[in-house]
């Protein structure tokens, strides 16, 4: 899996954890091991510009996903997943810190960025949360991936509750 993490935010983040959880999520979703993903970490000004440009919404947001080849997980275990460019995930650590601080189960900015990375991966794979059924599926999958990743690393405590809307 080729995953690039580029921190342009000026904020120190755990880039290795972002890389590791992205790789874990893509493997768990059975995405071809030669597929490519880019993760960009930006400040609030850059995120706000993207949010306005692409969503026509004011203010910065936590995560945005920009799919390229519209890859999807294979429907059956025996199917060979297609290879391609997944696209870009853009993260904003300042928004992540605020969300982690305000979450019912307070957690660190880095834990929130890990959750948002999985959220972004799922968006790249076609998952969405516009309607209740889709939201339940996406957020359930997101929690399972984050919990699985944390469990493999022996991290204790509850994983962050979804703070993205």
Nearest CA-CA partner of 158 in 106, 110, 109, 123: 106
Binding residue per annotation — 51? no
Binding residue per annotation — 129? yes
The rounded distance, in Å, linking the Cα atoms of 92 and 56 is 18
Contact residues for 5 (Cβ-Cβ < 8 A; gap 6+): 15, 18, 19, 22, 39, 41
Binding residue per annotation — 107? no
| Distances, alpha carbon 16 to alpha carbons 39, 52, 63, 144, in Å | 12, 29, 18, 20
Rg (CA), the chain: 15
Alpha helices in the chain (DSSP H): 15-28, 44-55, 93-102, 109-124, 132-152
Burial category of 54 from C-beta neighbours within 10 Å (exposed 0-12, middle 13-18, buried 19 and up):
exposed
Annotated binding site: 119, 123, 129
Annotated binding site for Zn(2+): 119, 123, 129
């Amino acid at each position: 899996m080729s995953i690039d993490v580029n921190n342009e935010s000026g904020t120190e983040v755990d880039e290795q954890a972002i890389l590791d959880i992205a790789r874990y999520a893509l493997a768990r979703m059975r995405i071809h091991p030669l597929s490519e993903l880019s993760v960009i970490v930006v400040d609030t000004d850059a995120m706000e510009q993207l949010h306005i440009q692409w969503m026509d919404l004011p203010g910065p947001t936590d995560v945005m996903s920009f799919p390229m080849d519209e890859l999807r997980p294979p429907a059956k275990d025996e199917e060979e997943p297609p290879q391609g460019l997944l696209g870009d995930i853009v993260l904003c650590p300042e928004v992540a810190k605020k969300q982690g601080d305000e979450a019912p189960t307070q957690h660190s900015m880095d834990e929130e960025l890990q959750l948002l990375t999985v959220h972004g991966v799922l968006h790249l794979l076609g998952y969405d949360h516009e309607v209740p059924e889709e939201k339940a599926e996406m957020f359930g999958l997101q929690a399972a991936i984050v919990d699985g990743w944390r469990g493999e690393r022996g991290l204790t405590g509850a994983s962050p509750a979804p703070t993205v809307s």
